[in-house]
Structure 1
C-alpha cells in the first residue's frame, strides 16, 4: 500500500486568488492574526434559492443550498483556502500504487446533530446514495467509477474501475455530504448533519436559520452563534438590504454599482479570481445545435472582450469555451484563443449549408447577474454574422428547474471544480445529469478515463490538453468569460485571512471560517 496522504493532499496550487480590495482583517502590531471571536447573529443575502429546492444532496445546484450544505454537513475531505486538500471526516487515506483501491479511515468521536455517532456505515451509505443506474444525482458521474465499497474496521475501502489520482479531491464535492444511514439508504430529509451548524428552520426560496453546533468535533470553525440566510435573488433588493444594514453579507454584486458601494465606509468589497465561468449551453441533441458548424458559428459570433468589459466591468477575463481556469493545473496554454470574427462565423454557417440562422436564447438574472444584458450584446454582435438571435427574459424563480436543460439555448453559471476530471465528469461526460449541452464525444470519453488513471503528469497533461481542444472546438457550450467572485460584507464581519477561490464567498465555507470583528 502506498501512502498518498495522512494529513492532506498537497498539490501544486491550482487556483489563483487575487483581491481587488484589502481584506477586512488586518495584522496587529505583533504580526500574528487575532483569533476569531465567537458570538453574534450573521445575516446573509444570497442571490440564489428557489421554491423547488430540496434537502436531497443529489439536487443541490445553487449558492443557497451549497452554503447550507457546507454549514450543516460534513464530507470526507475539504479543499482549503490555499487550494490544498485536508482531511475532514476522514482522518487519513491511502491508496495502492495504481490508485485503484483507496482506504479512508473515518474520524472517531464525531456526532450527528441528533447525537448519533458517525460510523463507516454512514459514510458508505452516503456515497452509495449517488450511485447506480437509476441515480439522478448530479454527483452520479463522480462516483460511477466506484465498483465496490466495503468496511474494514474504522476504514471504508473504495475499489475503482480504474486508477484515479484525484479521488480524494472528488470526495470533497458538496453533493457528497455524509448523512446517517437509514433503511438501506440515508436520512437526508431531516437535515441531520455533523457540520458546525444545526439547521433550525428552512423555507426554500425564502430563508433558512442555523445555530452553532456546541458539540462539533472542531474548535477552529463555526464562530457565529446563529445564521440567517435569505434568498434575495432580486439584485436591487439584495443591494438595498446590505446598504440599509438589514443583512451583513451579500454575494453576486451588481458590478455596475461596485464603485458606489466602495464609497460606503461600512461596506467591504471582495474580489477573488477563480474558476467561476458564465456560459451559453446549446442542446446538441436537437437542431440546429446538433451541427458542430452551427455551434462554431455561434462561438465566433460573440464578442468576448465586450462582455468582460460591459457585463463584468473588468472583474474577470475572456473565456475560450473550456471550463478550466488559467490558474488550474493542466490548463492548455497553447489553445488558440477564439475572438469575435463574423466572417468566420458566416463561413461555418455556409459549411452547415445555411445563409442565415435564427435561434432563441433564454436568460435570467438567476443564471448570472447581467445574463439578459449579455444576451442582448450577443444578439447585436451575431447580427453581423447573419445570425438572428432573439433573447427571452425568463422568470428567476424556477429557472434551474424549468429553463436550464429544458430550453435548447440558455444562459448558465458554473463555479467550476478544483480538478479537471471533476469538472469534465460533472458537466461534459456523456449522459451526466448536468451535461447541459447533452453532448457526447467518443474520443473525449476515452481520454477522460485514461487521464483519470494516468499517474505520469506529463502524459496526463497531454491528455487534458487534447480534451480541452475537443471541448473548445467541438463541444456544445459557449464559455465567453470567467468571472471573479465579487461579494460584499459589512465591516463588522471578519473574513478569512486568505479567501478561497474554488467557490464563491470563501469556497462557500463562510459559515465556518468567518466571524464578527
Structure 2
C-alpha cells in the first residue's frame, strides 16, 4: 500500500500547522493463503498468521518473547496436586457478533476440542482434560487426569482459542472471535481484510484496518515491497534481496528466530523408508549448510533433532547425521537397497522449493533418484499431511515445542515408537523442571538416533517492513502476525 497525502490535505496541514495523522491501515504480505480461517479445525500455520491474537483469543496467549500471558482468563489458580486449574475470566467481553462471552463458551470450546469426533488438528493438547466445570459465569474449573505444568502453555496455542457455540460451525469462512479485530472479507486467491472491533474489551489497537495479501512468488514479493503495494512482509520469501532492502532507507529488515523446525520428512510407514538404515543413509547424504546457503542465503541454524536451538533444553545432535556420502552408500548397500527412486513432494514455500532441488542433487550423489512434484498448499495438506501419500517432503513445523507429534500414531510421517509414546506420557505427568528437561533431552536423542526424519535447520524469521512501522514481532514463538501493538510512526 502506498500512503500518499492528497494535495488538499497537505495544504490544510501546512496552513494550520497541525501534524498529519499517522496511517491507521496496514497491508501485510504472506506467502501462503490459509485453507480456511478456523484455527480450531485446521493444521495450516497460515490460519494463525491471520487470526491469532487478532480475531481470536484463548484463555492464555503467547507474548512476543514466548512468555505465557493472561488472555481471556485474567488469572488462574492451580491445586496443590497440579490437577485442577481454576480460570478467572475477564468480564464485559463480547464476541464480534455482539453476543457476550462467559464460562459456558469456555466449556463448549474445550469439550468440542477434546470430543471423540473433534476436527482439531492439535487434539493432543486437550487429551489430559478429565472434565470442564462452569463454577459461575466468570469462573471455569478444569480438572486434568494427571498433573500438567504445561497446561497454560497448551491453552495459548491457536488451536485452543475460545469460540461460541452459535458461530462455531461457520468459522472456516466467517470467523467470529473476541479479539481486537473482526473479520471483514476474504477474496480467495488474493486477500483477507480485518477491521478494528469497536467493542473490544482491552486496549484498542492503533490500526483500524488490516489487509493480508497472498504473494507466494519471491520475485513478486520483492516487487510488491519495492512498489509499496505491501507495507510489511513478516516472513519474507526472498532472503537473497534482504541486503538490497536493508540498504534502502524506506525499509527495515527484521531478523529473528522462529519455532520452525525445517525437516526432510520421511514416510516411516513405507518400504524401504521403514528401515532405519535407509533413513540414516538419507540423513548422511544431506549437507545442511549447502541447503541453508542455497535455499535461505545463509539464514537458518542447523539442527539434528526436532527441537529449537534457542530452547534451553536443546541438544546439539547434528553430529549423529553429519554429511557423510560414503557412509550413506554403505548403509544403503547394507540394507540391500539399489536403484532407489523416491517421490519428493514440495509445498510452495521458498525453503521447500529451493531446498528440494538441492537435496535431490545430494541424494543423487549417493545413488537415490527423486521424482519431484510441486504441490500447492491445499494439495500438500490433502495429499501429504492428511492422505500420507508421499515418500519425502520438506516442511517447517512452526508450532511451539511440538516434539510430542512424534508420539501420534496417525501423524503423517508415521513414527509413534511405543517407547517414545511412553516417554511423552511421562513428560505430560511431570511438573518438576529438572525432570522435564531430562525427559525432553531423551526424546530428542531417541528420534535423532532413529533418524525419523532428515533434520535440516531452524527457520529464521526474516521480515521486511516500512521503516515507519513499529510493533511487529521480531521472533515468532508461535505462528502469528499479532497486530495488537503495531502502529505507524511519524
In the superposition, the TM-score normalised over structure 2's length comes to 0.89
Structure 1 residue aligned with 2:181, among 178, 197, 205?
A: 197
Which residue number corresponds to residue 182 of structure 1?
A: 166
1:348-372 residue CA offsets vs partner (Å, 9 max, x unmatched): 22332224532121114x2x31422
| 1:277 matched to 2:261 | yes
Out of 87, 91, 104, the position equivalent to 1:121 is: 104
Residues 186-335 of structure 1 correspond to what in structure 2 (within 5 A)?
188=171, 190-219=174-203, 222-250=205-233, 251-320=235-304, 322-333=305-316
CA contact (8 A) 1:300 1:344 kept: yes
For 2:429 and 2:256, the matched residues in 1 are separated by: 32
Map Cα deviations across residues 193-242 of structure 1 (whole Å, 9 max, x no partner). Answer: 110001111234321111111221111x5210111111112222222111
> C-alpha distance in 2, partners of 1:442/1:280?
23
Q: Which residue of 1 aligns with 2:16?
A: none
CA gap of 1:303–1:374, structure 2 versus 1, over 3 A, is same
Structure 2 residue aligned with 1:495: 471
Are residue 338 (structure 1) and residue 310 (structure 2) matched? no
Instruction: Select the residue among 431, 435, 449 that pairs with 2:409.
Output: 431
Give, in angstroms, the shift of residue 97 of structure 1: 2.8
Aligned partner of 1:450 in structure 2 is: 426
Q: Report how far residue 285 of structure 1 moved.
A: 1.6
1:358 and 1:71 map into 2 onto residues whose CA distance is 45
Tell whether 2:488 aligns with 1:512: no
1:312-341 per-position Cα deviation (integer Å, ceiling 9, x unaligned): 222111111x22112213222477452101
- Cα distance in 1 for residues equivalent to 2:39 and 2:259: 25
- What SS does the corresponding residue of 1:201 show, helix, strand or coil? strand
Structure 2 counterpart SS, 1:238: helix
- Quote how far apart the aligned CAs of 1:378 are: 1.3
Bigger helix fraction: 2
Q: Per the alignment, in what secondary structure is the counterpart of residue 389 of structure 1?
A: strand
Shift in CA distance, 165/339, structure 1 to aligned 2, threshold 3 Å: same
Secondary structure of the equivalent of 2:321?
Answer: coil
2:449 to 451, 459, 473: 473
Contact 2:39–2:47, Cα closer than 8 Å, also in 1: no
Deviations 1:118-157 (A, max 9, x none): 1101011112222123223212111111121111122212
Q: 2: distance between equivalents of 1:55 and 1:232?
A: 21
Structure 2: distance between partners of 1:363 and 1:335: 24
Cα distance in 2 between the residues matched to 1:148 and 1:278: 36
C-alpha separation in 1, matches of 2:286 and 2:460 = 20
SS at match of 1:380: helix
**Partner Cα distance (1:371, 1:144) in 2:** 32
Query: Following the alignment from structure 1 to structure 2, what is the Cα–Cα distance between the partners of residues 48 and 104?
Result: 35
1:485 aligns with 2:485: no
Aligned equivalents of 2:107 and 2:409: distance in 1?
Answer: 24
User: For the Cα contact (< 8 Å) 1:293–1:348, is it kept in 2?
Assistant: yes
Shift of 1:38: 7.4
Is the CA contact 1:430–1:441 (under 8 Å) kept in the aligned structure 2?
no
Secondary structure of 1:130's counterpart equals helix
Paired residue secondary structure (1:228)? strand
Return the alpha-carbon distance in structure 2 between the equivalents of residues 239 and 401 of structure 1.
29
Given that 1:39 and 1:223 are in contact with CA atoms closer than 8 Å, whether structure 2 keeps it comes out as no
Q: Which consecutive residues of structure 2, in runs of 5 or more, have no partner in the other structure?
A: 1-20
Larger radius of gyration: 2
| 1:27-42 matches, cutoff 5 A | 40-42=24-26
Residue 340 and residue 413 in structure 1: after superposition, are their counterparts in 2 closer, same or farther (change >3 A)? same
Counterpart for residue 161 of structure 1 = 145
Distance 2:51 2:33 in 1: 11
Equivalents in 1 of 2:92, 2:278: separation in Å?
57
Change (3 A) 1:56 1:508: closer
Residues in 2 aligned to 1:383 and 1:200: alpha-carbon distance in whole angstroms: 49
Coordinate RMSD, CA, aligned:
2.2
CA distance in 2, matches of 1:59, 1:258: 32
CA distance in 2, matches of 1:48, 1:257: 19
Distance in 2 separating the partners of 1:492 and 1:278: 32
C-alpha distance after superposition, 1:442-500 (max 9, x if no partner)? 0111111111221222222221111111111225322211121001111231235x734
Spell out, residue by residue over 1:282-323, the C-alpha distance to the aligned partner (whole angstroms, 9 max, x if none): 111222222222111111111111112222222111111x22
CA distance in 2: counterparts of 1:159 and 1:332, whole angstroms: 33
Q: Distance in 2 between matches of 1:39 and 1:124?
A: 40
Where does residue 362 of structure 2 map in the other structure? 381
Mean Cα displacement is larger for which, 149-158 or 325-334?
A: 325-334
**Corresponding residue for residue 47 of structure 1:** 31
Partners of 1:274 and 1:502 within 8 A in 2: yes
Partner of 2:81: 98
Query: By how many angstroms is 1:161 displaced?
Result: 2.1
Give the match for residue 29 of structure 1: none
| Residue 6 of structure 2: aligned partner | none
